[in-house]
Amino acid sequence: MESVADHPAEVNHRERIWFFPDKFWQATKNMPREQAEALMEEVERYAEAHNVQALSKYSFVFVGDPYKRGARKRTPAPAA
């Protein structure tokens, strides 16, 4: 049986996707329920695909280690 912690995506803390429910609630508190649910489904699809660029537009999602001093959202390098 493979441990979840042994999975390469879980080991790389710099690529971990964090979701903050309190910030999601603040961002969606005036939205109709259906719209908030659709937004959550969209965020889940981006997270499953590990689409960091798409996730970076949401204030309630963080890629990396949010507790590391000086942490910032990781965004992909611009195409040269």
Question: pLDDT per residue over 26-41, tens digit each?
Answer: 999 999 999 999 999 9
Within a domain: 48: yes
Within a domain: 46: yes
What does the alpha-carbon distance between residue 47 and residue 19 come to, in Å, rounded to a whole number?
A: 10
Within a domain: 73: no
Percent pLDDT > 70 in the chain is 68
Within a domain: 1: no
What does the alpha-carbon distance between residue 15 and residue 34 come to, in Å, rounded to a whole number?
A: 30
Parts of the chain with a pLDDT under 50: 1-5, 9, 11, 77-80
Within a domain: 69: no
Within a domain: 26: yes
Prediction pTM value: 0.63
Within a domain: 45: yes
DSSP letter at 5? G
Domain containing 54 equals: 20-63
Domains held by the chain: number: 1
What does the alpha-carbon distance between residue 68 and residue 16 come to, in Å, rounded to a whole number?
A: 13
Within a domain: 50: yes
pLDDT for the residue 3:
41
Q: What is the dihedral of CA 45, 51, 52, 55, to 10 degrees?
A: -30
